[in-house]
Amino acid sequence: MAPLADLYHLTMAYGQWRAGRHRSPASAELFFRRGPFRGTFALGAGLAEGLRGLRAFRFSAADIAYLRSVLPSTTEDAFFDYLATLDASEVTVSAVPEGSVVFAGVPFLQVKGPLLVVQLLETMLLCLVNYASLVATNASRFRLLAGPDVKLMEIGLRRAQGPDGALSASRYSYIGGFDCTSNILAGKLYGIPVRGTIAHSFIMSFTSLEEVQPRELPPLAGGEPVDFPALAQSWLPRVCELLQTPPEKTNRGELAAFVSYAITFPHDFQGLLDTYCVRRSGLPNFCAVALALHQLSYRAVGVRLDSGDLAQQSKEIRQALRACGAHFQVPWFETIPIAVSNDISEQSLEQFSQEGNEIDMIGVGTHLVTCPLQPSLGCVYKLVEVNGSPCLKLTQDEEKMTIPGTKTIYRLYDAAGHPFMDLMALEEEPSPSVGQELAIRVLGRLGETSKVVPTTVECLHRTYFRDGQVCEPLPSLLEVRNHAQASLSLLSPAHRRLHDPQPYPVAMTEKLYHLLIELREARQ
Amino acid sequence: MAPLADLYHLTMAYGQWRAGRHRSPASAELFFRRGPFRGTFALGAGLAEGLRGLRAFRFSAADIAYLRSVLPSTTEDAFFDYLATLDASEVTVSAVPEGSVVFAGVPFLQVKGPLLVVQLLETMLLCLVNYASLVATNASRFRLLAGPDVKLMEIGLRRAQGPDGALSASRYSYIGGFDCTSNILAGKLYGIPVRGTIAHSFIMSFTSLEEVQPRELPPLAGGEPVDFPALAQSWLPRVCELLQTPPEKTNRGELAAFVSYAITFPHDFQGLLDTYCVRRSGLPNFCAVALALHQLSYRAVGVRLDSGDLAQQSKEIRQALRACGAHFQVPWFETIPIAVSNDISEQSLEQFSQEGNEIDMIGVGTHLVTCPLQPSLGCVYKLVEVNGSPCLKLTQDEEKMTIPGTKTIYRLYDAAGHPFMDLMALEEEPSPSVGQELAIRVLGRLGETSKVVPTTVECLHRTYFRDGQVCEPLPSLLEVRNHAQASLSLLSPAHRRLHDPQPYPVAMTEKLYHLLIELREARQ
């Protein structure tokens, strides 16, 4: 595959090459300008894939042939010969560990190397980091809203931007705190736990109990197999009587589907309740089958709802399960997990909390993978230094201004162990000292000096790529997931909250500030 | 790659297989429930990729090994042996031609085949059709807003859901009416025209004219090369005087970047004007370099803006270009194309129209590829018939109800040549006759019979896949693009308009309606 790049990178590359500036040492930074979803924080993700992209960065003969066909015919042959020799072996990349909490305006990936290559890497790195960080952050918000105990399942394969987007969604939702995915390929490739039982189509494909084949199920402890459809059917009137619903309103195809599924997976029977009517059909059919299973010493593993008022229904279902459990003396019945899906958003989770609910597991698809609250993180990749000279972009939009110079990034912690500020310093400056007062300038009010005294100082970046190789061991996906949760848990509640969070201050040293002012004056 | 599927498809497949129902003949339909972006129409896209997926549909030994590890340990070996034999050779797929206008509730892809395979194809087809249709539709809306003459360029590679999402965005934006993309790989793979010149980073990498190498440029007609930096510099005071801006406020690095780029691409010089100040630096520097090029008989190809009030600036720039053209007697100067980018949305295009503008080309990234107005089309794939029996899903949500039976889809046209209704009929019904009154039921008011008289009747679907092979020639991407524009142009303005369009009626035959009512009564 050709390097991921926009055409202007190649035309610029030719310009740099022709001017003999292609090997000038350069630094670039990757960051986003505003916290996503109106929160303060994001999770920085996509690093491992970015590093894989760096290792593979190379133009094939076919790529070069294609570029010849699209660049102006005056482009010199020697330039294409040069492109064919390029790789990322002279590039150094430092970054925050994947899954770390990151803030607007603070570079979380830095690239140093020959100008031409540093520029050519822009789109690839943005493409691999932008969505990864966005969806990991989105997932972490669902996790914060759901609390630690509810299981969260990613079910977005059919709603993502194609197969690859869906795989990214599965991978980075897991990092952000989801427990499992429905996507088999994500399970196979990344080892993410996969889950899934039945869909409406399975239930709709049955019309009567006569269709159930095979019909026998042996008790768990062994012994004579029993006619399971008959057993389930014998429970139905008793359940209907208890739940006060007419047996003739239960759908026979649905019962057949449940029975068939239970015979097939007696240890893993989950009932999807809403193909017809939950209260009058799905629920009594489920209870009848689950009680029949119980008679053979199996336990049903759950129910699922995919439409209607999920919180309200979950309470009604819990009540019915409790009633069955008590009446038929099946204690585990009342704890049968209730799973829900159906266009679940952050708002849905807030409503569930407000209404009260009995939900144990939530499947999130569209609102997780497409991030409708903000479908792009808007990361940018900016040159900050070329040939030892810091670069500055001054535009009409103040927000689009860049901060010049190659930097070291520190995170400052307070006595309670919460990070309270990220600080950008020039690379040559000494590290801030613990317990010592520090004069800094906070972004958004650069005109005044502020003083802070950090209890702990963390140097945020590590060098991950050097001499064409990944030079720092990369954690497993599960380790990244754990790191993300740990990183989030350090945040103070005021910074972590999803609505109207307290802004997280980002600052620069006095020295960096003076460089900025000096350059700004020189350029205006 | 393993087939794209959610785990529940496999557990259901096992259920069907164990029940001996896996080979029951089944039909499924793919459709969306609501018109995207509050419009009436969508463009149906993703068919060619879906067909490719069908041809490749197969479980590898590694896939089977993985499935063994995630399905319950009680799953029989013979089932995995069966999975290993599966392919799509018994599946028949019919669909609307790719790029056709399609409406909510009307199936635009139909799958027939053995139940197990038909169910297993659900997620793959949805994954390949959903985003494709969404982004093609989104692109078509930008095209309708921009009008036929403005060039539209897709620049979303860095904002998509990874490399594959970006490729889909390029491909389907082109189908929807975009002219070109910045994405080199999309150009290479799909033959879409690629475009691109320079970015801010190129400009920021220069600080003075001394850095420009090489410095000489021969006139177009041949002859002695001239010192081009000196020539451009000689024009600068003259331009500044005309534009009434102080020469000392022009940025020297920017001038150097323009000069360097012009020497490199004298036939393709485009100035990116907003790295520093458009009016006081970008514009005079551009004019000086473009006039110097003109002196050597080359023509600059354009300017680009990436920040600020784009419509307003485009007018100011056009005025300045006109003034330069008149003053220096360079007639082509006033028609230099003005390109803009910077978070362009539908709303931006509406504002451009309202304010008036001089924009010739628009680059759209985030708002094109992430579709923030509605980031998912929400296509669904529903079983409508198994073993010759029509299926019905009756849920709490009326909207989630399905319409049973295998259908033929007709589009009815009025005397003006506009489609006025899509009509679903049972497969066995005869085609509606031209010029004859037809009794139908319109979705949303099924209680009453309506009468229509079509001037033309089109059978919408063609059979594209049969016996494991694509059985209808697939058009080129350009042909699909042309078909999409033709299909859109047939729509009446009331149905095509983007805001508050007239709802497009979707209907069913009396016979289909009676089947629906009959099944609904039987199931309730």
* Whether residue A214 has a cis bond before it, omega within 30° of 0: yes
Across residues A336-364, what is the average pLDDT? 97
pLDDT-above-70 percentage for chain A: 98
Rg (alpha carbons) of chain A, rounded to whole number: 29
Out of A196-210, A466-480, B116-130, which region has the weakest mean confidence (pLDDT)?
A: A196-210
Residue B123: C-alpha distances to residues A85, A376, B3, B96, B127 (Å): 42, 24, 9, 19, 6
A11-30 pLDDT per residue, tens:
999 999 998 889 999 999 99
Rg of chain B taking only CA atoms, in angstroms: 29
- Please choose, from the candidates A428, A386, A395, A410, the residue with its C-alpha nearest in 3D space to the C-alpha of residue A512: A428
Domain B199-356: homologous superfamily in CATH: Aldolase class I (3.20.20.70)
* pLDDT > 90? residue B371: yes
Task: Give the minimum alpha-carbon distance from A145 to chain B in angstroms, rounded to a whole number.
Answer: 22
Q: Does B15 touch chain A (CB under 8 A)?
A: yes
The residues in A 370-399 lying below 8 A from B, measured between CB atoms, are 370-372, 374-376, 378-379, 382-383, 386, 389, 391-397
* Tens of pLDDT, residues B253-294: 999 999 999 999 999 999 999 988 999 999 999 999 999 999
- For residue B119, the chain A residues in CB contact (below 8 A) are 199, 201-202
**Cβ contact, residue pair B188, A157, below 8 Å:** no
- How do strand B506-509 and strand B419-426 relate by DSSP bridges? parallel
Contact B131 A66 (CB under 8 A): no
* Closest CA–CA distance from residue B458 to any residue of chain A (Å): 30
**Over chain B, what is the mean pLDDT?**
95
Q: Which of B296, B293, B267 is nearest to B197 (CA)?
A: B267
Enumerate residues 63 to 122 of chain B having a beta carbon within 8 A of any beta carbon in chain A.
Answer: 63, 66-67, 70, 72, 74, 115, 119, 122
What is the pLDDT confidence band of residue B198, given thresholds at 50, 70 and 90?
confident
Which 3 state secondary structure label does DSSP give A459?
A: strand
Q: What are the residue ranges spanned by the domains of chain A?
A: 7-139+373-523, 197-359
- Contacting residues of A for B66, CB less than 8 Å apart: 184, 187-188
Type and span of the H or E element at A204: helix A200-204
> How far is the C-alpha of B5 from the C-alpha of A187, rounded, in Å?
11
Whether A345 has its CB under 8 Å from any CB of chain B: the answer is no
Q: How far is B253 from chain A (nearest CA, A)?
A: 9
Exposed e or buried b for every residue in A251-276, given b needs 16+ CB within 10 A? Answer: bbbbbbbbbbbbbbbbebbbbbbbbb
C-alpha distance across the termini of chain A, in Å: 43
* Distance between CA atoms of residues B456 and B433, nearest Å: 8
Half-sphere exposure of B108 (CA within 13 A, CB side): 29
Q: How far apart are alpha carbons A60 and B277 in whole angstroms?
A: 40
Per-residue pLDDT, B337: 98
Task: Give the residue from A197, A330, A323 showing the smallest Cα distance to A268.
Answer: A197
Neighboring chain A residues of B167 at a CB cutoff of 8 Å: 162
* Overall CATH class of domain A197-359: alpha beta
CA distance A141 to A43: 10
Please compute the mean of the pLDDT values over residues A125-135 and round it to a whole number.
97
For chain B positions 184-223, those within 8 Å of chain A (CB to CB) are 184-185, 187-188, 194-202, 204-205, 207, 211-214
Interface test with B, best of A201, A276, A313, A366 (most B CBs within 10 A): A201
**pLDDT per position as a tens digit, A271-284:** 999 988 999 999 99
- Predicted confidence (pLDDT) at residue B369 exceeds the cutoff of 90: yes
A371 within 8 A of A365, measured Cβ to Cβ: no
Mean pLDDT of A351-355: 96
pLDDT in tens, B345-356: 999 999 999 999
- Element of type H or E holding A477: helix A477-490
DSSP type of residue A6: B
Q: What is the pLDDT of residue A28?
A: 96
Compare CB distances from A131 to B19, B161, B382 and report the shortest one's residue. Answer: B161
User: Is pLDDT above 90 for A197?
Assistant: no
Which residues lie below 8 Å from residue B336, measured CB to CB, with a gap of 6+? B290, B300, B301, B302, B303, B321
Residue (of A365, A306, A308) closest to B398 by Cα position: A308
Q: Which of B57, B204, B304 to mutate to test the interface with A (most CBs of A within 10 A)?
A: B204
What is the rounded average pLDDT of the residues B213-224? 95
Give per-residue pLDDT as tens, B44-62: 999 999 999 999 999 999 9
Which positions 249-278 of B are in contact with A (Cβ < 8 Å)? 249, 251, 260-261, 263-268, 274-278
By C-alpha distance, which of A496, A486, A495, A420 is closest to A456? A420
Q: Would you say B28 and B111 are in contact if contact means Cβ atoms under 8 Å apart?
A: yes
Superfamily for the A7-139+373-523 domain: nicotinate phosphoribosyltransferase (3.20.140.10)
CA distance B270 to chain A (A): 11
Q: Is A468 left (phi over 0), alpha (psi -120 to 50) or beta?
A: left
- Give the per-residue pLDDT at B100: 98
Encoded amino acid at A257, one letter: A
Cis check for the bond before B473: say yes or no (omega within 30 of 0). Answer: no
Tokens of B481: 């693009």
Determine whether the interchain pair A197/B8 forms a contact, defined as Cβ–Cβ distance below 8 Å. Answer: yes
Mutate to test the interface with B, among A7, A118, A120, A374 (most CBs of B within 10 A): A7
| Helix residue spans in B265-309 (DSSP H) | 283-295
Q: Which among A67, A202, A391 has CB closest to B15?
A: A202
> What mean pLDDT is reported for chain A?
95
Strands A419-426 and A407-413: antiparallel
Task: Tell me how close the Cα of A294 comes to any Cα of chain B, in angstroms.
Answer: 18
pLDDT (tens digit per residue) in B393-403: 766 566 677 89
Matching residue, tokens 């900016």: A382
**Tokens 């068919």 map to which residue?**
B47
Look at residue A440 and give its three-state secondary structure.
strand
pLDDT of residue B2: 60
pLDDT of A523 reads 67
Q: Chain B closest CA to A369's CA: distance in Å?
A: 9
* Spatial distance between the Cα atoms of B21 and B481, rounded to a whole number of angstroms: 42
B402-406 contacts, C-beta under 8 A, 24 or more apart = B403/B105, B403/B508, B403/B512, B403/B516, B404/B515, B404/B516, B404/B519, B405/B512, B405/B515, B406/B27, B406/B110, B406/B112
